[in-house]
């Protein structure tokens, strides 16, 4: 640890920091459907794993209804393992990062093949499909009470401020992990991890941290320096490249033509409108799936991890049948098609055009 770490631990031992944070958590823990209250028996690993996969790069507010729907429809890992992958993908629609949903099914099937039991340690968990270092640590700590260093974006922010780690991300992550390891207790490791998450989502917010409400403020080197909000230090963001593409709304007798995207690749396995292949390169270049009097209906914008997309929507009313696999979906029920967010935006645009022309 660096000099900042030494300063923090000099004003309060690692044990004292953990104890103070856990005392705060006992009183202020968030009430979330995948959690057990402090002092209660740990939630089952299925619920912890499912919630942690959903919460990756997604807010608690967005995840809550999805979690409740999934656990009502598939209450056990065996039930999820037996589910049709297409149905799981449709239920996931709107959460984004759809590879998570494919890995969810693959992992559930592997756990079911093990008799329904998740491994109870990080090494074993990391061997399952789609489980990386963070999720393995979270499940090991929260579901099984193992001592594990659990670092998400909230914990990253708390620790970088607590220890005034001034190296920019992502290079600072090794120092953040070392510092987090120094204060993680042997007992109540799951509660400690969740307390750190709650601290980051509560008093220690990204902007305007409420230091007067923070149980660790007297130990915080970032606060002692006078500007805790400058941590974590982030390298300048590079501008995302912008791709162009088109998608096609083909309507016949009150139904719209939907296709199923390939299982691997962007938005894999999801229902969608036909498109011109924008996902295969910088710009789409494919032809419409049918000849006809195509009409432009506007554009939608969407951000992916590594690029932004401007997608032009083209519409056609026809009596013809497109070639290839697909299905006619009732326009009035398009909200239940399980479209990913990009194509849900295009659907809303098409529906607004229909209303204007009615």
The Cα–Cα gap between 201 and 157 comes to: 10
The Cα–Cα gap between 342 and 94 comes to: 9
CA-CA distances (angstroms) from residue 76 to 111, 119, 286? Answer: 11, 16, 43
- Report the SS3 class of residue 5: helix
Concerning whether 52 is annotated as a catalytic residue, the answer is: yes
Q: What angle do CA 151, 213, 53 make, to 5 degrees?
A: 25
The Cα–Cα gap between 180 and 174 comes to: 10
* Catalytic-labelled residue, pool 27, 52, 68, 110: 52
pLDDT of residue 282: 44
CB atoms within 10 A of CB 305: 8
| Contact by Cβ (8 Å): 200, 263 | no
Q: Where are the beta strands (DSSP E) in the chain?
A: 242-252, 255-260, 271-272, 295-303, 308-317, 327-330
Domains of the chain, first to last: 3-230 (1.10.340.30), 242-357 (3.90.79.10)
CA-CA distances (angstroms) from residue 275 to 266, 300, 345? Answer: 13, 13, 14
pLDDT of residue 278: 83
DSSP state letter for 275: B
- Report the SS3 class of residue 267: coil
Q: What angle do CA 125, 338, 251 make, to 5 degrees?
A: 150
Alpha-carbon torsion (38, 44, 50, 52), positive or negative:
positive
| Contact by Cβ (8 Å): 295, 315 | yes
Q: Where are the alpha helices (DSSP H) in 209-357?
A: 221-224, 341-357
List of the chain residues with pLDDT < 70: 1-12, 279-286, 358
pLDDT of residue 221: 94
The Cα–Cα gap between 286 and 179 comes to: 51
pLDDT of residue 237: 84
CA-CA distances (angstroms) from residue 334 to 56, 164, 227, 232, 342? Answer: 27, 50, 49, 42, 14
The Cα–Cα gap between 12 and 17 comes to: 6
The Cα–Cα gap between 95 and 63 comes to: 8
φ, ψ dihedrals at 327, nearest 5° = -150, 145
Place of tokens 């995948």: 34
The Cα–Cα gap between 136 and 133 comes to: 5
Query: Which tens digit of pLDDT belongs to each residue from 227-266?
Result: 999 999 998 888 889 999 999 999 999 999 999 998 888 8
The Cα–Cα gap between 172 and 233 comes to: 9
pLDDT of residue 1: 43
The Cα–Cα gap between 190 and 185 comes to: 10
CA-CA distances (angstroms) from residue 353 to 217, 252, 273? Answer: 54, 16, 16
Q: Is the peptide bond before 75 cis (omega within 30 degrees of 0)?
A: no
CA-CA distances (angstroms) from residue 85 to 98, 105, 109, 188? Answer: 12, 7, 11, 36
Query: Which tens digit of pLDDT belongs to each residue from 134-183?
Result: 999 999 999 999 999 999 999 999 999 999 999 999 999 999 999 999 99
The Cα–Cα gap between 93 and 268 comes to: 11
| Contact by Cβ (8 Å): 158, 59 | no
């Amino acid at each position: 640890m660096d000099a900042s770490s030494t300063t923090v631990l000099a004003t309060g031992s690692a044990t004292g920091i953990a104890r103070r944070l856990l005392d705060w958590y006992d009183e202020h823990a968030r009430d979330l459907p995948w959690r057990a209250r402090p002092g209660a028996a740990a939630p089952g690993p299925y619920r912890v794993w499912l919630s942690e996969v959903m919460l990756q790069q997604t807010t608690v507010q967005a995840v809550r209804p999805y979690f409740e729907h999934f656990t009502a429809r598939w209450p056990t890992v065996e039930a999820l393992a037996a589910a049709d992958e297409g149905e799981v993908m449709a239920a996931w629609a709107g959460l984004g990062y759809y590879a998570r949903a494919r890995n969810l099914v693959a992992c559930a099937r592997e756990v079911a093949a093990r008799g329904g039991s998740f491994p109870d340690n990080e090494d074993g968990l990391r061997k399952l499909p789609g489980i990386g270092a963070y999720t393995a640590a979270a499940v090991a700590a929260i579901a099984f009470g193992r001592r594990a260093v659990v670092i998400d974006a909230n914990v990253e922010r708390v620790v970088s401020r607590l220890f005034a780690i001034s190296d920019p991300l992502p290079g600072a992550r090794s120092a953040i992990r070392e510092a987090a390891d120094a204060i993680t207790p042997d007992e109540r490791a799951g509660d400690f991890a969740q307390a750190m998450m709650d601290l980051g989502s509560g008093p220690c917010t990204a902007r305007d941290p409420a230091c007067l409400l923070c149980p660790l403020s007297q130990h915080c080197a970032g606060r002692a320096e006078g500007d805790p909000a400058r941590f974590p230090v982030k390298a300048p963001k590079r501008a995302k490249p912008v791709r162009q593409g088109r998608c096609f709304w083909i309507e016949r007798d009150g139904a719209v033509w939907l296709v199923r995207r390939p299982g691997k690749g962007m938005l894999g396995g999801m229902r969608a409108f036909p498109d011109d292949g924008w996902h295969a390169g910088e710009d789409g270049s494919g032809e419409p799936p049918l000849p006809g009097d195509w009409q432009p209906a506007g554009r939608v914008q969407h951000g992916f991890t590594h690029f932004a997309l401007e997608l032009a929507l083209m519409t056609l009313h026809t009596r013809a049948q497109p070639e290839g696999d697909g299905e006619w979906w009732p326009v009035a029920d398009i909200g239940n098609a399980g479209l990913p967010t990009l194509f849900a935006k295009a659907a809303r645009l098409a529906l607004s055009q229909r209303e204007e022309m009615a």
